[in-house]
Amino acid sequence: MNKIIALTKKELYSYFSSPIAYIILIATVSLFNVFFYLIVEQNREVALRDIFQLMEFMFVFLIPLLTMRLFSEEKANGTMEFLLTAPLTHTMIVMGKYLSMLTFYSILIGLTLTYYMIIEYFGAPDLPSILSGYAGIWLEGAFFIAIGLLVSSWTSNQIIAAMVSYVILFSLYFSTSFAPYFTGPMADFFTQLSTRTHLENFAVGIITPSDLVYYLSGIVLCLVLTRFSTNNKLWQ
């Protein structure tokens, strides 16, 4: 566990030692603030449902930018050889990188907790639905990060990693839009595949086992695939 923490700290240090982390945090939260004001002003309700859906859409754009460098940079700089010849397991390397990005993402989400305080000042928001909304958006980000991490392990080119991540995240996000063109199981498949379908429930305070399974199995699957992808036997 100590080695995973060391890897996580190294990744976070790498982010916060450059202006990129601060720019991403400030720019994203500022954008959320503007939309928060506009949505509350328009809806005149003490709920964050629409904010969560907006966050989800924004994270489809943002997360590939965060994850594209995770493995690609190590491969391009030759430091992957350093990690893979140190007494580290592949799982430790994958978890160290994943947890670093999850920590960064949690800080980003944490900065929006002020929205609850603001709407509470003006009314009586439904706390359970807001908590479940935050749980949903956190799980969704964790899923997106796991996808970005997997894609980053496939290539040493950061641009390619970002582009492939965009294709996958957009496909997942918009897959529900294809459902009307199909009937029966195929329509269900496209609806259930979409991240929007699953976040909708969380955003209105409903946590169902199927939604939890969707996110958790997606995260575990991507992390396991990343672990195999980093196995240098596959590079030979």
The site for other proteins (CB under 8 A) is made up of 2-3, 6-7, 10, 13-14, 17-18, 77-79, 81-89, 232-233, 236
Chain centre to alpha carbon of residue 70: 14
Closer residue to other proteins (CB): 85 or 183: 85
- 54-83: string of b/e by CB count within 10 Å (b at 16+)? bbbeebbebbbebbbbbbbbbbeeeebeeb
Residue 124 DSSP label: -
Least gap, CB of 232 to other proteins (angstroms): 6
Least gap, CB of 99 to other proteins (angstroms): 15
Could you tell me if 2 and 93 are in contact, meaning their C-beta atoms sit under 8 angstroms apart?
Answer: no
Closer residue to other proteins (CB): 27 or 234: 234
Alpha-carbon dihedral sign for residues 201, 175, 161, 52: negative
Rg (C-alpha) for the chain, rounded Å, is 19
Neighbours of 191 (CB within 10 A): 18
Closer residue to other proteins (CB): 5 or 127: 5
Closer residue to other proteins (CB): 3 or 109: 3
Least gap, CB of 110 to other proteins (angstroms): 24
Closer residue to other proteins (CB): 10 or 37: 10
- Rounded CA-CA distance 199/206 in Å is 9
28: nearest Cα among 62, 69, 65, 71 = 62
Least gap, CB of 36 to other proteins (angstroms): 33
Least gap, CB of 114 to other proteins (angstroms): 31
